[in-house]
Amino acid sequence: MFARSVAVGLLALVLVAPAALAQSVETEGWAWSYFNEVMSPFCPGRTLSACTSGQADTLRMWILVQEAAGRSQEDVHAELIAKYGDVVLSAPRPAGFGMTAYALPALFFLGGGLVVVVFLKRQTRSAREAAPTAAPPPLDPEIERVIDEELSR
């Protein structure tokens, strides 16, 4: 009976301890939000928080240690860029070739607006040209009489 109680207690400890440890980890610092902002150099197209490689785990731990040591996020970010290059940036730099990522959408938007303006001007011009400019000719008096009779019924 005592052995069963001890086994149940150990099992409960094993199940509850990881949850308690996870809650005791401080999530107030900048490192935890930074994992969602920086791209992983090990999993292309994924943030560091979404990367499942062991190297990403090591990099996350290194960032947490740097935060605990008192380094600023900007210093750590600069060091990551120096070590891994622009692959850790979530958006291209707005300089050089990276500027195309910012300029092309604006150019396409302006070009689309220009196409719409030209289309609407042509449509309104053709509608104006098709509209009658003079009053229609008067109807034959016999036709007007027949219409009046029909309407009076």
The answer to whether residue 145 sits within a structural domain is no
Same domain, 71 and 98: no
The answer to whether residue 14 sits within a structural domain is no
Q: What is the largest CA-CA distance in the chain?
A: 118
Same domain, 86 and 98: no
Q: What range defines the domain where residue 58 resides?
A: 26-90
Same domain, 75 and 30: yes
Instruction: Considering only residues 73 and 22, tell me which one the structure prediction assigns the higher pLDDT.
Output: 73
Same domain, 115 and 83: no
pLDDT at 130: 73
Same domain, 44 and 33: yes
DSSP characters over 9-55:
HHHHHHHHHHHHHHHHS---SHHHHHHHHSBPSSSTTSBTTT--SHH
CATH number for the domain harbouring residue 74 = 1.10.8
pTM tops 0.95: no
The answer to whether residue 2 sits within a structural domain is no
1-48 pLDDT, tens digit each: 655 654 544 445 555 555 554 444 445 789 999 999 999 999 999 999
| Domains: count for the chain | 2
The C-alpha angle with vertex 7 and arms to 4 and 12, in degrees rounded to 5, equals 125
